[in-house]
Amino acid sequence: MPLEVTQRELNGIYVLALKGRLVLGEESRGLLTVIDNLLASGATRMVINLEQVNYVDSAGIGALIEMQRKTKAKGGSLKLCHLGPNLRQALEMARLLPIFDTSPSETAAVASF
């Protein structure tokens, strides 16, 4: 199942709603391309909604880290919302959770800018 990315803009904040699997290959590369294009167009505030992501492998976690790094390098901010328990646990175990700004809901993530 390919990763679907739905993009919308709310007052200069770009919300990317993901659906499917964030895994090695086309899925993680495609998401990074979306982020690269947003950053190139001047977008610096992004929310990644993971509510409908049902599986993330290590490459998917790597893509999230890379997105965070690229956004910060441009002086921007990237926030994750709706982390599932498995993804949250994987990030905690790898001691990566602190590098991400997380919110329980999309509304809270957008409001935190």
Is residue 81 a contact partner of residue 102, using CB atoms and an 8 Å limit?
yes
Closest CA to 64 of 19, 97, 39: 97
Give me the pLDDT at residue 76, please. Answer: 97
Q: Which tens digits make up the pLDDT trace of 41-53?
A: 999 999 999 999 9
Confidence (pTM): 0.95
Distance, CA of 46 to CA of 58 (rounded, Å): 22
pLDDT band at 2; cut points 50, 70, 90: confident
What's the count of helices (H) and strands (E) in the chain, helices before strands? 4, 5
Which domains are assigned to the chain? 4-111 (3.30.750.24)
pLDDT tens, residue by residue, 49-94: 999 999 999 999 999 999 999 999 999 999 999 999 999 999 999 9
Q: What is the DSSP letter of 11?
A: T
Measure the CA–CA gap between 1 and 90, rounded to whole angstroms.
22
Residue 24 structure tokens: 């090695």
What is the rounded CA–CA span in Å between residue 88 and residue 18? Answer: 16
